[in-house]
A and B are shown apart, each in its own frame.
Chain A
Amino acid sequence: GAGVSQTPSNKVTEKGKYVELRCDPISGHTALYWYRQSLGQGPEFLIYFQGTGAADDSGLPNDRFFAVRPEGSVSTLKIQRTERGDSAVYLCASSLGTSGNHWETQYFGPGTRLLVL
């Protein structure tokens, strides 16, 4: 079946602009994660959704970053007043979300490469 998809694959914007990045998880997966991967670094956790609600947003760097998942499927990561330091690859992952306290494998999308000029 289809994996995690992310759009756009690349986004170039100017400093101060607003951007939206979209993630479409694997069908039936109720858990969704956003990570950010800066150049030369490993991915860093941003936020986790279980269904429609953000269960853990401890990784969001500041209040310019916000994410929603209104219907429990597609998620949008929103960045206001973008800064050059926001340039990175934004990765989305999903998992079944039904295993309670048991660990679930996270399946990653190809990412959106954001460049802020």
Chain B
Amino acid sequence: AQSVTQPDIHITVSEGASLELRCNYSYGATPYLFWYVQSPGQGLQLLLKYFSGDTLVQGIKGFEAEFKRSQSSFNLRKPSVHWSDAAEYFCAVGARKEYGNKLVFGAGTILRVKS
């Protein structure tokens, strides 16, 4: 069965500092990988996705993620964090089924930004 592990429940970084959020997945085939962000009272917003090809993918809001098959990881990075990035971040793997595609999410990482 597919699973996603986000080892860090909370992370605090200073504004302007770099950020890396960890994600490890378990999936028997080529994974479809996603990062979503959820702000309080808001729905999940897609930051970026990996389907195939270049293992470094760029997303919105200056985020990027790197797929490493050997490590079963898909870590999210940002070179300089802004206060508005404070939110909860979810990594997900797409579990393919013949007639539909459900997402399997990790438990999330809450990002706090210090000024």
Q: What residues make up the interface of A, taking CB atoms closer than 8 Å to B?
A: 3-4, 31, 33, 35, 40-45, 48, 50, 55-56, 59, 91, 93, 95, 101, 103-111
Query: Number of B residues whose C-beta is below 8 Å from A?
Result: 27
Q: B97–A56 contact, CB under 8 A?
A: yes
Are B51 and A106 in contact (CB-based, < 8 A)?
Answer: no
- Interface positions, chain B 58-115, Cβ under 8 Å from A, are 90, 92, 94, 96-108
- Check if B49 sits within 8 Å of A43, measured CB to CB: no
Q: Would A103 and B102 be within 8 Å (CB), given that A42-B108, A108-B43 are in contact?
A: no
- Asked if residues B43 and A45 are in contact (CB atoms below 8 Å), the reply is no
Query: Closest CB of chain B to A6's CB: distance in Å?
Result: 8
Partner of A41, one of B32, B43, B108: B108
Q: Within 8 Å CB of A31, what residues of B?
A: 100
Contacts of B98 in A (CB 8 A): 101
